[in-house]
Every structure is written in structure tokens, then in C-alpha cells.
Amino acid sequence: MTQGDRRPTRFEKGQRLKASELNGLAEAIEAIVRRMQGQGLLAPLDISGKLDTALAPASSFGTAPSTATMSVWGRDANGDMVDTGRNETVVNRFERIGFAAGVPCEARWIDGEWRLVTADCA
């Protein structure tokens, strides 16, 4: 059985699985969960923070997006937003919009990338 099997073979009543078969099943389920929820099982689907460098417009939405590093910010015990020390590469697929370094922004996990979806710009 693989992830691509639409109709995997059904198990027979009383059938026992070998360790390798159980491991294959566990790996397939883990891959599906990772694809649905981001890089890790508990990874958030949205992040906010500030761009460390400028983010240029994409040359092409489909084939040539631009990228930059974003410092992820989160709330501390006082409710203030602070730099968490985590950095992520964000992708800009907008062809007419670029962003300056230091701009507060938000990214969403879409199709295996942290894609910039909103920013606080002039």
C-alpha cells in the first residue's frame, strides 16, 4: 500500500500484519497528516512576524516566486508581541507587490510553503 493507492487491498478478518506492514501504514498516515497540517503534527497553519529582508514581487506566480526570511513573533506572558527567535522562509507569489524589510506580515502554510498573505505596508 502506498499514499497514492485510492483503494488499498482490504485486510481479511483475523489477518495479522508484519512489523514492516504496520510501519508502512504508520508512515503513510504520518505523511498525509504532515501534508494537511504543515511540517509537523503541531505546526501552526498561520504565523506572524516581521520580514528580515526585503521581499520582491514574484517574476511569475506559478514558476518564479520570490523568498525572504521572516522572524516569527508571538505573544509573551504579558500579552506583548515579541520575537520568538524562530525564522521561516516566506514565499511571495504576488507579481505586483513587494515588501520592505521590517514590515509586519502574516504567512499561511499553503501547498508546502509559508506563503505571505497579508502585510502592513503604506
Q: Is 70 exceeded by the pLDDT of residue 69?
A: yes
Tell whether 86 is covered by a domain.
Answer: yes
Q: Is 5 within the bounds of a domain?
A: no
**74, 118 Cβ separation under 8 angstroms:** no
As a whole number, mean pLDDT of residues 109-116 equals 91
Q: Are residues 72 and 110 in the same domain?
A: yes
CATH number of the CATH domain containing 75: 2.40.50
53 in the same domain as 38: no
Average pLDDT, the chain: 86
Q: Are residues 82 and 105 in the same domain?
A: yes
pTM of structure: 0.61
Q: Is residue 2 domain-resident? A: no
Q: Which residue has the higher pLDDT, 14 or 114?
A: 114
At CB < 8 A and 24+ separation, what contacts does 18-21 make? none
Q: pLDDT, tens digit, for every residue of 86-106?
A: 999 999 999 999 999 999 999
Residue 72 has pLDDT above 70, yes or no: yes
Give domain status of residue 31, yes or no.
yes
- Residue 5: strand, helix, or coil: coil
Domain containing 29: what range? 15-43
